[in-house]
Structure 1
Amino acid sequence: MSYRIRLLETEEGWSVSCLDLPGCHSQGSSREEALANIREAIALWLEVEAEEGGVRSVETLELAI
């Protein structure tokens, strides 16, 4: 599954948000680090959502960017 993200370059580095998952944000000092961090944030977001929703298993797929 693919997720839409928004990358913003700031003076401190890169900020990234997943537009499809409310509250799913991350950052990094480089673009590559920010992308790696949002992949992890998405996986964790989905895991928590599954736990709260009573889902028995979560499958994590690679994010296409």
Structure 2
Amino acid sequence: MTKDLESYKYLKYGVKLVPISEEDGGGWLAEIPELKGCMSDGETPEEALKNVEEAKLTWISTALKRGQIVPLPSLETDEYSGKFTLRLPKFLHKELSLAAQKDDISLNQYILSLVALNFGKSSIISETPKTSPRKPSKSRSQ
């Protein structure tokens, strides 16, 4: 591969999208794990995803100027096309379409946002340390 920004520009890297706590200012954090330290944020998942694309170009440009190796995305394989068919009940298809129109985005982008949001939540939950449940206190009868 030619080592210039243009040759890396359209490569699709996986992005990890997680909500930022209100204590830390709220919004969303988008990170490209394969490009160590490449991340950005935004008020919405869509904004964070857009911003991380800009951060990706800056990260790659800086790495190339320093003569560093830019890892290729692991998603760039024939194993996953990025497409799959999903059958929905008609009422759900309608509700999702209306919600996407309300947000002025495509149905595909809307569903992708919902999946990313839910996946981010489940990642946070799975990374949260489990605490043992409290034992019920014994009540005294009088």
Q: Please give the TM-score of this superposition, normalised by the length of structure 1.
A: 0.76
Structure possessing the higher radius of gyration over alpha carbons? 2
Distance in 2 between residues matched to 1:26 and 1:15, nearest whole Å: 6
Does residue 24 (structure 1) correspond to residue 38 (structure 2)? The answer is yes
| RMSD over equivalenced CA pairs, Å | 2.0
Structure 2 equivalent of residue 58 of structure 1:
none
Distance in 2 between residues matched to 1:2 and 1:16, nearest whole Å: 14
Deviations 1:25-54 (A, max 9, x none): 110001111011000000000000010008
Does residue 43 (structure 1) correspond to residue 60 (structure 2)? The answer is no
Higher relative contact order (CA 8 A, sep 6+): 1
- State the percentage of identical aligned residues: 34
Structure 1 equivalent of residue 67 of structure 2:
53
Structure 2 equivalent of residue 2 of structure 1:
12
Is the strand fraction higher in 1 or 2?
1
Structure 1 residues not aligned, in runs of 5+ = 55-63
Aligned residue pair count: 56
Is the helix fraction higher in 1 or 2?
2
The alignment partner of 1:46 has SS state of helix
Q: Please give the TM-score of this superposition, normalised by the length of structure 2.
A: 0.37
